[in-house]
Amino acid sequence: MAVAAGLVAVALSAAACGDAGSGSGSGSDKPTLTLYNAQHDFVEDMAKDFTAKTGIKVEVRSGDDFELANQIVQEGSASPADVFVTENSPAMSLVDSKGGFARVDDTTLAQIPDSFEPSNKNWVGFAARSTVLAYNSTALKPADLPASLLDLAQPKWKGKIGFAPAGADFQAIVSAVVATSGEAAAEQWLKGLNTNGKKYQGNTAVMKAVNAGEIQAGVIYHYYWYKDRAESGANSKNVELRYFGNADPGAFVSISGAGVVKASKHQEEAQQLVAYLTGKDGQKILADSGAMEYAIADGATNNPALKPIADLDPPAVDPAKLNGPRVVELMQRAGLL
Amino acid sequence: MTLTTAPSTASRPGGGARPSSRRRRRRYPRALLATSTLVTLIALIPLIFVAVYTVGVGWDEALRLLVRPRIGELLWNTTRLALACMALSAVIGTGAAWLVERSDLPGRRIWNVLLVVPLAIPAFVNSFGWVSVTAAVEGYGGALLIVTMSYFPLVYLPVSAALRGLDPALEETANALGNGRWRTFTRVVLPQLRPAMLGGALLVGLHLLAEFGALQMLRFPTFTTAIYDQYRSTFNGPAANMLAGVLVLCCLLLLLGELRLRGQARYARLGAGSPRPAARARLGIVTVPVLLALAALITLALGVPLGSLAHWLITGSSTAFPVDTLLTTTATSVGLAAAAALVTSLLALPVAWLCVRHPGRASTLLERGTYFGNALPGIVVALALVTISIRYTETLYQTVPLLVIGYAILFLPRAMVSLRAAIAQVPPVLDDVAHALGATRTGTLWRVTLPLIARGLGAGAALVFLAAVTELTATLLLSPTGTETLATEFWANSSNIEYGAAAPYAALMVLISAPATYLLTREARNSR
Amino acid sequence: MTALTVRGVTKSFGSVPVLEGIDLDVPAESFTAVLGPSGCGKTTLLRLIAGFDDPDGGTISFGGETVYGDGRAVPAQRRRVGYVPQEGALFPHLDVAANITFGLPRRARASRDRVAELLELVGLDAAVAGRHPHQLSGGQQQRVALARALAPRPSIVLLDEPFSSLDAGLREGTRRAVAQALRAARATAVLVTHDQGEALSLADQVAVMRAGRLVQLDAPATLYRSPRDAAVARFVGEAVLLPATISGGVASCALGDVAAREPAPDGPAEILVRPEQILLGATGVRARVTDVSYFGHDAAVRLDLLPGGPAVTARVHGHDLPAPGTEVRLTVTGDAPSFPVTTGAVPVTTSAEVPAAR
Is residue A207 located within the same domain as residue A299?
A: no
Residue C265: DSSP 8-state = -
Q: Does B416 touch chain A (CB under 8 A)?
A: no
Q: Which of A12, A77, A201 to mutate: most B Cβ within 10 Å?
A: A201
Nearest to B478 by CA among B88, B105, B66, B46: B46
Is residue A141 located within the same domain as residue A246?
A: yes
Is residue A182 located within the same domain as residue A237?
A: yes
Contact between B497 and A7 using a beta-carbon 8 Å cutoff: no
Q: Which CATH class is domain C238-345?
A: mainly beta
Residue C261: DSSP 8-state = P
Out of B270-284, B383-397, C328-342, which region has the weakest mean confidence (pLDDT)? B270-284
Residue of B nearest to A172 (CA): B233
Sequence letter at residue C222 = T
CATH code reported for the domain at C2-225: 3.40.50.300
C238-345 shares the fold of C2-225: no
Instruction: Give percent of chain B with pLDDT exceeding 70.
Output: 89
Q: Does C194 touch chain B (CB under 8 A)?
A: no
pLDDT at B408: 95
Is residue A143 located within the same domain as residue A233?
A: yes
Is residue A42 located within the same domain as residue A117?
A: yes
Contact between A66 and B332 using a beta-carbon 8 Å cutoff: no
Predicted confidence (pLDDT) at residue B23 exceeds the cutoff of 80: no
Average pLDDT, chain B: 82
Residue of B nearest to C46 (CA): B19
Close Cβ partners of B447 (under 8 Å, ≥ 6 residues apart) = B434, B439, C102
Question: Radius of gyration of chain B from Cα atoms?
Answer: 24
Consecutive sets of 10 residues in chain A, 337 residues long: mean pLDDT of each? 43 42 50 93 92 94 86 87 94 91 95 91 95 95 94 94 90 92 94 92 89 94 91 87 94 95 95 96 92 92 92 89 84 85
Contact between B23 and C47 using a beta-carbon 8 Å cutoff: yes
Please report residues of B whose CB lies closer than 8 A to that of A232.
317
Q: Where in the sequence of chain B do the CATH 1.10.3720.10 domains occur?
A: 43-273+285-313, 316-528
Q: Does C78 touch chain B (CB under 8 A)?
A: yes
β-partners of residue A85 are A37, A258
Q: How confident is the model at residue B270 (pLDDT cuts 50, 70, 90)?
A: very low
pLDDT at B198: 87
Q: What are chain B's partners, defined as 3 or more CB pairs within 8 angstroms?
A: A, C
Q: Is A206 a domain residue?
A: yes
Sequence letter at residue C1 = M
Please report residues of B whose CB lies closer than 8 A to that of A328.
233-234, 239
Q: Is A23 a domain residue?
A: no
As separate numbers, helices (DSSP H) first and strands (DSSP E) second, chain A gives: 12, 11
Predicted confidence (pLDDT) at residue B187 exceeds the cutoff of 50: yes
3-state DSSP assignment of residue A32: coil
Contact between B429 and C85 using a beta-carbon 8 Å cutoff: yes
pLDDT, tens only, A238-283: 999 999 999 999 999 999 999 999 999 999 999 999 999 999 999 9
Sequence letter at residue C194 = H
pLDDT at C349: 53
The alpha carbon of A304 is separated from its chain's Cα centroid by a whole number of angstroms, namely 22
Alpha-carbon gap: A110 to the closest alpha carbon of chain B (Å): 32
Q: Is A107 a domain residue?
A: yes
Give residue C346's region: left, alpha or beta (phi > 0; psi -120 to 50): beta
pTM: 0.77
Is residue A203 located within the same domain as residue A152?
A: yes
Nearest to A294 by CA among A162, A115, A102: A115
Q: Is A11 a domain residue?
A: no
Q: Does C80 touch chain B (CB under 8 A)?
A: yes
Domain count, chain A: 2
Please tell me which of the candidates B394, B399, B497 has its beta carbon nearest to residue A205: B497
Residue A116: DSSP 8-state = G
Q: Out of 3.30.470.10, 3.10.290.10, 1.10.3720.10, 1.20.810.10, select the CATH number for domain B316-528.
A: 1.10.3720.10
DSSP B51-89: HHHHHHH-HHHHHHHHSSHHHHHHHHHHHHHHHHHHHHH
Alpha-carbon gap: A88 to the closest alpha carbon of chain B (Å): 12
Residue B300: DSSP 8-state = I
Residue A102 φ/ψ, nearest 5 degrees: -90, 150
Is residue A248 located within the same domain as residue A285?
A: no
Domain boundaries, position A114: 31-127+254-308
Per-residue pLDDT of chain C (358 residues; tens, 9 = 90+): 788 999 999 999 888 899 999 999 999 999 999 999 988 999 999 999 999 889 999 999 998 899 998 888 898 888 889 999 988 889 988 999 999 999 888 888 888 888 998 999 888 999 999 999 988 988 899 999 999 999 998 989 999 998 888 888 888 888 888 889 899 889 999 999 999 999 999 999 999 999 999 999 999 999 999 999 989 999 998 899 999 999 988 999 999 999 998 888 888 999 999 999 999 988 889 999 999 998 888 899 999 998 887 899 999 887 778 889 999 999 999 999 999 886 554 455 554 433 333 3
Contact between A7 and B341 using a beta-carbon 8 Å cutoff: yes
Is residue A328 located within the same domain as residue A201?
A: yes
Please tell me which of the candidates C13, C51, C83 has its beta carbon nearest to residue B22: C13
For residues C232 and C215, what is the distance between their CA atoms, to the nearest angstrom?
8
Q: Is A56 a domain residue?
A: yes
pLDDT at B27: 67
Please report residues of C whose CB lies closer than 8 A to that of B3.
92-93, 132, 134
pLDDT, tens only, B44-85: 999 898 888 888 888 888 888 788 778 888 899 999 999 999
Please report residues of A whose CB lies closer than 8 A to that of B338.
7-8, 10-11, 14
Q: How confident is the model at residue B236 (pLDDT cuts 50, 70, 90)?
A: low
Q: Which CATH class is domain B43-273+285-313?
A: mainly alpha
What is the domain partition of chain C in residue ranges?
Answer: 2-225, 238-345
Out of B95-109, B214-228, B237-251, C99-113, which region has the weakest mean confidence (pLDDT)? B237-251
Q: Is A21 a domain residue?
A: no
Nearest to A197 by CA among A184, A188, A206, A186: A206
pLDDT at C319: 79
For residues A175 and A56, what is the distance between their CA atoms, to the nearest angstrom?
36
Is residue A226 located within the same domain as residue A292?
A: no
3-state DSSP assignment of residue B259: helix
Contact between B7 and C141 using a beta-carbon 8 Å cutoff: yes
Contact between B229 and A11 using a beta-carbon 8 Å cutoff: no
Q: Does C148 touch chain B (CB under 8 A)?
A: yes
Question: Radius of gyration of chain A from Cα atoms?
Answer: 21
Contact between C44 and B19 using a beta-carbon 8 Å cutoff: yes
Close Cβ partners of B336 (under 8 Å, ≥ 6 residues apart) = A14, B400, B403, B404, B407, B468, B475, B483, B485
Alpha-carbon gap: C138 to the closest alpha carbon of chain B (Å): 7
Nearest to A87 by CA among A281, A242, A286: A286
Please report residues of A whose CB lies closer than 8 A to that of B461.
3-4, 7
pLDDT, tens only, B193-215: 888 888 889 889 988 988 889 99
Question: With touching defined as 3+ CB pairs under 8 A, do chains A and C touch?
Answer: no
Contact between A209 and B135 using a beta-carbon 8 Å cutoff: yes
pLDDT at B348: 93
Q: How confident is the model at residue B415 (pLDDT cuts 50, 70, 90)?
A: confident
Is residue A42 located within the same domain as residue A118?
A: yes
Q: How confident is the model at residue B525 (pLDDT cuts 50, 70, 90)?
A: low
In chain A, which ranges are continuous DSSP H helix? Answer: 2-22, 42-54, 65-75, 89-97, 106-109, 168-181, 183-196, 203-212, 222-231, 267-278, 280-288, 324-334
Is residue A136 located within the same domain as residue A239?
A: yes
Sequence letter at residue C7 = R
Alpha-carbon gap: C133 to the closest alpha carbon of chain B (Å): 6
Q: Which of B232, B396, B455, B489 to mutate: most A Cβ within 10 Å?
A: B232
CATH of the domain at A277: 3.40.190.10
Alpha-carbon gap: B418 to the closest alpha carbon of chain C (Å): 18
Nearest to A94 by CA among A334, A325, A329, A327: A325
Q: What are chain A's partners, defined as 3 or more CB pairs within 8 angstroms?
A: B
Q: Which of A1, A8, A10 to mutate: most B Cβ within 10 Å?
A: A10
pLDDT at B91: 95
